[in-house]
Structure 1
């Protein structure tokens, strides 16, 4: 019998603590201090030829890597529901939101969208990531992080100005951008967490829909190297939510956030057959 990984047990204990305290967007992983990202270190739109070539190479490798994960049972896709909701907006720029519970949960979304991306129409799935994930990793791992259509956030004002400009270009040309509106990753956490309103700013500013995705999971009969059951994922693609032209930007951001959360909540309660509740007594969503 494989002993449960001590680090994962500590993370689960922090998740329990943070839920009680309502620290919804706080990261439970012990990541190293972030190296600041300056404007000269990121080419958001791949304007440089060397970055275009690197991105093409990394995407080809990533496709094979994701398919291998599924083939070997290291990532289990049990079902994909509601893909017609993606098809309804496949020709439009869109902000995709998903619950964040695993470093590779975006791989599951990639797998579901392979028929619509890359060689099919030249599109890619862009991902908004934290600054440290872009700057902290050296070597080959860092190379892949930096060239897999990632859009790093930054504490640097000039870098964020470039980020926002690039986001607008991507959405208006029809790209799909995955945003983790919960922010911090909570490992194998099954509940939807209250969402940050800023994630919906991209949708409002570019007047594109938000497509909520919620991944539910159940234990498989396979035990991973960390001593915990490998999860079986069911991906739920939900109906797109559109900004209201009669509302202000602030009102739209709040409306999109609330509708996104409500859609996730309904999937959670329907799938698991229990009402959504938190141990946090002062949660406004409790």
Structure 2
């Protein structure tokens, strides 16, 4: 499409995505976010042990559900359908969901598509540190309180994070983590994956349920001049940890299987082979 018709800030992001793809910098952020405060251990209640945390979560989830339901009714956020719902049976007993990450709203595409199948009715979402500590307004409120699990650059906070994820998974909850790491706006291709989600699943002894969201352009344009995206959620075959392998080896195998399933679904839906283009050396 002609990027000249896209708002300058979004055009800059799309151009950066194209550059990072050529340079194979798949896990790097492309948004121009300001530096974020470090999330310290006493600033997050991962397991909602405090009454005020539970109240804030209830209020936030109520508001978010009404907010995003309204976006769906207005065709601002479009979910065309869900494929592979039979694979959601693997969520019983705890599971890690993985999905491609291309929008601040993609977690809600997942939640709205599978909410009736969530064994405990909740979807816990791993988010980046800056979204928790530095995001303003209504979305900042959602990022803080809608069953989110923020990462942190503080080692002690990360110990608490890993412990909380393990508690949630082993007690039968569902956790969403984006193993591509960075959000690339409206990027349709699957990117190479990080190991963390799979190590956490192995440690808790739960499956990974890989999901892949495909998109197609609507006739209408969004506020930035880019086509509104129509989403289809594909729930792929669950991946179970191999208990005969070490944790790392089992996680590596799960990661490779996940990526293969994503590539397979991408090529099936878009009817083109996955191609990142000619590689370009990174300029210093």
Structure-2 change in CA distance of 1:155 and 1:254 (3 Å): same
Map of 1:33 onto structure 2? 35
Structure-2 change in CA distance of 1:150 and 1:28 (3 Å): same
Q: Is residue 2:221 matched to residue 1:220?
A: no
Map of 2:60 onto structure 1? 58
> How do 1:3-42 and structure 2 match up within 5 A?
3-42=5-44
Normalising to structure 2: TM-score of the pair? 0.94
Normalising to structure 1: TM-score of the pair? 0.94
Distance 1:140 1:72 in 2: 19
Structure-2 change in CA distance of 1:30 and 1:282 (3 Å): closer
* Ranges in structure 2 where 5+ consecutive residues have no aligned partner: none
SS at match of 1:70: helix
Distance 1:278 1:205 in 2: 33
8 Å CA contact 1:66, 1:111 repeated in 2: no
Q: Give CA deviations for 1:132-191 in whole Å, capped at 9, x if unaligned.
A: 100002454422211100000111111111111111110001111000000001111110
Distance 2:46 2:257 in 1: 29
- Superposition RMSD on alpha carbons, in Å? 1.6
Map of 1:149 onto structure 2? 147
Map of 2:86 onto structure 1? 84
Map of 1:104 onto structure 2? 105
SS at match of 2:91: coil
8 Å CA contact 1:22, 1:280 repeated in 2: no
In the alignment of these two chains, the number of paired residues is: 278
Q: Give CA deviations for 1:63-104 in whole Å, capped at 9, x if unaligned.
A: 112211111000111121001101x22322111000000111
Map of 1:129 onto structure 2? 127
* Ranges in structure 1 where 5+ consecutive residues have no aligned partner: none
Distance 2:243 2:91 in 1: 22
